Amino acid sequence: MGFWISLLLLMVSLADPTGAEEFDFIISEAQKKPYAVGGRLESRFIYHRLDEDAIRYSPNDHLKDVGDDTHEWRTSAELSGSCQYGVFQAGLLTHHQFEETHEDDGWDHKIYEGYMSLTPTPRLTVDAGKKSILWGKGYAWNPVGFINRPKDPDDPAQNLEGRTFLGVDLIRSFAAGHLSNIGVTALLLPVIDDWANAELGEGGDLNIALKLYLLWHDTDLDVICFDGPDQPAGFGFDFAKNLAENIEVHGELAVRKDVPHMVPDADDLPRESREDQISLLLGARYLNTIDTTFIAEYYHNGAGYDRGEIEDVFVLKKAAFREWQTTGDASVMERIARTTRPYDRQRNPGKDYGYIKISQKEPFDLLYFTPWVAAVVNLRDFSFNLQPGLTWAPVTDLELNLRVGIPIGPAYTEFGEKPDTYRPEVWVRYYF
């Protein structure tokens, strides 16, 4: 109770228009239209060269003869619009995608954002509706992003579906002292059946997310809390600081209390234990004199599985597949799928990872051309995913992208058991 009272007093003090030490920047703007419309079109082709020896390939597609390779086509359109009238603002972003795979094809329509905002003063904003949220400072991972949608670190322009919430943002600036800015964000996130925030609990649940922002000694700091009836309590801290014009460091620390952790038992059934999980991220970004950017991160995943547990998962999958081949009993595959689901639904299910990305802006004076290479390494089993790519914008509003995912590692390792031998991907985006 004391924490909530303290937070309420802080929010009231931030909203108070008085205060001798307060300093607000007011910048005059040219007259702009009260509305904006736009969007983008994208066509994406993904080719999968399959590894028939990979254990994950066999259980996932055990009822289908997909051959040596498969492909996917994804064609999408995103339409955006916003309008502003006085202190009121509204925004809308819709996503429409047609996807064709070896399993199925069809349309998917989603509202990524649809919200209304009220800004009665420059330091107070009230939001209601659906809006994108990206908390944390990491490039590849965000352990403090308890309510974030999963992101693609090598496709930063990708829009993400928002969360439905009622929120308040308060911010205040100061002219003197080492504390330049302070801000508070408070969000109420209801779960409304399958319509809103279904991943955050059961229908009728009300989740709470809070963020305290400080700009202190030219360092960005965030303190984050998240809790809900069906969610383990989460507490996080992140920071980012420029050590020089071309050197930035960042980090995140997250703690989640009493989290269920599932591992197979002696009967190959999921066994649940409860644990407090600590996740950590440390990273840096460096730009040299020839416009080469280096990004490096270390990530400890508190919800992850160690090398022995990951190996056990693959042993179970292989044994189940062989039993299905011998007996024809598909229920064994269904049972193993349930047992290993907590592992499969994590993008990176291991304990410790390294990430590095190197990109070069306009090499050999090739305008608007950026080649890059990235790698994610499981530091427990030393398997990794190597991913070279490039981005080229030959004309305004047109962008061409290419990347190839190459998972590398021995048997019974995370990336050694990926279903693809290699995975080229090319996509074209047009903005309007």
Mean confidence (pLDDT) of the chain: 89
More confident site: 294 or 326: 294
CA-nearest of 382, 385, 311, 321 to 343 is 311
Is residue 47 within 8 Å of residue 67, measured between CB atoms?
no
Do residues 187 and 210 lie in contact, with contact meaning Cβ atoms separated by under 8 Å? yes
- pLDDT at res. 277: 96
Report phi then psi at 161, rounded to 5: -65, 140
Angstrom distance (rounded) from CA 91 to CA 242:
32
Identify the three-state secondary structure at position 302.
coil
**More confidently predicted of 66 and 190:** 190
Residue 216 belongs to domain spanning: 122-259+273-287
- Count Cβ atoms within 10 A of the Cβ of residue 343 and give its class: 0-12 exposed, 13-18 middle, 19 or more buried: buried
Handedness of CA 372, 345, 48, 384 (dihedral sign): positive
The percentage of the chain sitting over the pLDDT mark of 70, rounded to a whole number, equals: 89
Answer yes or no: are the C-beta atoms of 316 and 328 closer than 8 Å.
Answer: no
Looking at the structure of the chain, the number of domains it has is 1
| Residue in the structure block whose two tokens are 């904003």 | 125
pLDDT value at residue 335: 82
pLDDT (mean) for 170-185: 94
Asked whether residue 334 is domain-assigned, the answer is: no
- pLDDT score of 23: 46
Distance (Å) of CA 120 to CA 22, 111, 131, 174: 18, 27, 19, 20
Name the token pair of 313.
């998962």
In this model, does residue 78 exceed pLDDT 50? yes
Q: Is the predicted pLDDT of residue 1 greater than 70, yes or no?
A: no
State pLDDT tens for residues 399-425.
999 999 999 999 999 999 998 999 999
Q: How confident is the model at residue 19 (pLDDT cuts 50, 70, 90)?
A: very low
Report the alpha-carbon angle 430-98-150, nearest 5: 80
Mean pLDDT of 251-280: 85
Lowest mean pLDDT among 136-140, 249-253, 321-325, 387-391: 321-325
Reported as a pLDDT band with limits 50, 70 and 90, residue 58 is: low
Beta bridge partners of 305: 350
Q: Tokens 């269904």 label which residue?
A: 334
Query: Residue 324: pLDDT above 90?
Result: no
pLDDT tens per residue across span 218-251: 999 999 999 999 999 999 999 999 999 999 999 9
Say which residues have a Cβ less than 8 Å from residue 298's Cβ, sequence separation at least 6.
280, 281, 282, 283, 352, 353, 354, 355
Taking the CA atoms of 305, 307, 308 and 314 in sequence, report the sign of the dihedral they define: positive
Phi, psi of 311 (to 5 degrees): -65, -40
CA torsion 161→163→166→168, rounded to 10°?
A: -80
Domain membership flag for residue 241: yes
Q: How far apart are CA 11 and CA 150, in angstroms?
A: 30
Beta strands in 330-368 (DSSP E): 352-360
**C-alpha distances out from residue 151 to 141, 230, 299, Å:** 8, 23, 15
> How many residues are given for the chain?
432
- The answer to whether residue 24 sits within a structural domain is no
375 contacts: CB under 8 Å, gap ≥ 6: 354, 355, 356, 357, 384, 385, 386, 387
> Under DSSP, is residue 312 helix (H, G, I), strand (E, B) or coil?
helix
In a domain, 432, yes or no: no
Q: Are 222 and 240 in contact (CB under 8 A)?
A: no
Residue 269 has pLDDT above 80, yes or no: no
For residue 25, pLDDT beyond 50: no
pLDDT at 304 over 70: yes
Model confidence at 430, in pLDDT bands (50, 70, 90)?
A: very high
Asked whether the beta carbons of 295 and 139 are under 8 A apart, the reply is yes
* Assigned domain for 235 exists: yes
| pLDDT, tens digit (0-9, with 9 covering 90-100), for 340-356 | 888 888 889 999 999 99
User: Residue 366, SS3?
Assistant: coil
Task: Give the SS3 label for residue 218.
Answer: coil
| 345 Rama class: left (phi>0) / alpha (psi -120 to 50) / beta | alpha
- If you average pLDDT over residues 304-321, what whole number do you get? 86
String of DSSP letters for 165-190: EEEEEEEEEBSSSSEEEEEEEEEEEE
User: What is the average pLDDT across 117-121?
Assistant: 97
431 domain-assigned: no
- Determine how many CB atoms are found less than 10 A away from the CB of residue 267: 8
Write down the residue that tokens 């020839």 correspond to: 290
Tokens of 243: 């050590």
CA dist 394 and 374 (Å) reads 23
What percentage of residues in the chain have a pLDDT greater than 90? 69
Q: Is the pTM of this model over 0.85?
A: yes
Local structure of 262: helix, strand or coil: strand
Predicted confidence band of residue 30 (pLDDT cuts 50, 70, 90): low
pLDDT for position 267 = 65
The residue among 179, 178, 263, 162 whose CA lies nearest residue 213 is: 179
Is position 42 within any domain? no
Is the pLDDT at 270 greater than 80? The verdict is: no
